[in-house]
């Protein structure tokens, strides 16, 4: 069974979606960093994690009670992970494995520069010519 580090999981896991006035949609993580974006008629791509998004609507995929890294409510965590993975696959990105339940000491997301974990994989897929040719959803 594949397990992703707690930090990596928190960076990649979609927490919610912003919709902008022009129809652009942006998925953000629990730190409210943009991680994925798509414009009407275009494929989804990694977002700039440092961009301030002028959203008009904000939706959430889960809250702190039913987070996918929740240790005490494992069924709720599994259901939330499935919901987040549906979002990722609908946007053309791979599903996440289960997160590690061990949070490493000093495993803070705010003490490091903002880096989008999807960007490296995106660049690699572009080099290999693996990006989808049509818009998703």
Query: Is 116 part of any domain?
Result: no
Query: Is 107 part of any domain?
Result: no
Give the rounded distance of the alpha carbon of 89 from its chain centre: 11
Query: Is 129 part of any domain?
Result: no
What global pTM score does this model have? 0.76
* Distance from C-alpha of 95 to C-alpha of 114, rounded to nearest angstrom: 22
Query: Is 126 part of any domain?
Result: no
What's the structural domain count of the chain? 1
Q: What per-residue confidence (pLDDT) applies to 109? A: 54
Q: What per-residue confidence (pLDDT) applies to 126? A: 59
Instruction: Name which of 59, 62, 66, 54 is nearest 27 in CA terms.
Output: 59
Q: Residue 41 belongs to what domain range?
A: 3-102
* Distance from C-alpha of 80 to C-alpha of 37, rounded to nearest angstrom: 21
Q: What per-residue confidence (pLDDT) applies to 93? A: 95
Q: What per-residue confidence (pLDDT) applies to 96? A: 93
Note down pLDDT in tens along the chain; length 137 residues: 577 888 888 899 999 999 999 999 999 999 999 999 999 999 999 999 999 999 999 999 999 888 998 777 888 889 999 999 999 999 999 999 987 766 544 455 555 556 777 886 666 665 555 454 444 33
């Amino acid at each position: 069974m594949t397990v992703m580090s707690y930090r990596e999981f928190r960076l990649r896991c979609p927490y919610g979606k912003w919709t902008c006035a022009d129809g652009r949609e942006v998925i953000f993580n629990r730190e409210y960093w943009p991680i994925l974006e798509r414009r009407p008629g275009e494929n989804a791509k990694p977002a700039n994690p440092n961009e301030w998004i002028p959203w008009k609507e904000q939706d959430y995929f889960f809250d702190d009670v039913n987070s996918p890294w929740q240790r005490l409510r494992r069924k709720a965590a599994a259901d939330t992970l499935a919901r987040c993975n549906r979002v990722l696959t609908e946007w053309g990105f791979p599903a996440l494995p289960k997160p590690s339940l061990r949070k490493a000491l000093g495993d803070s997301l705010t003490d490091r520069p903002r880096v989008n974990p999807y960007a490296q994989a995106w660049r690699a897929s572009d080099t290999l010519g693996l990006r989808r040719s049509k818009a998703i959803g």
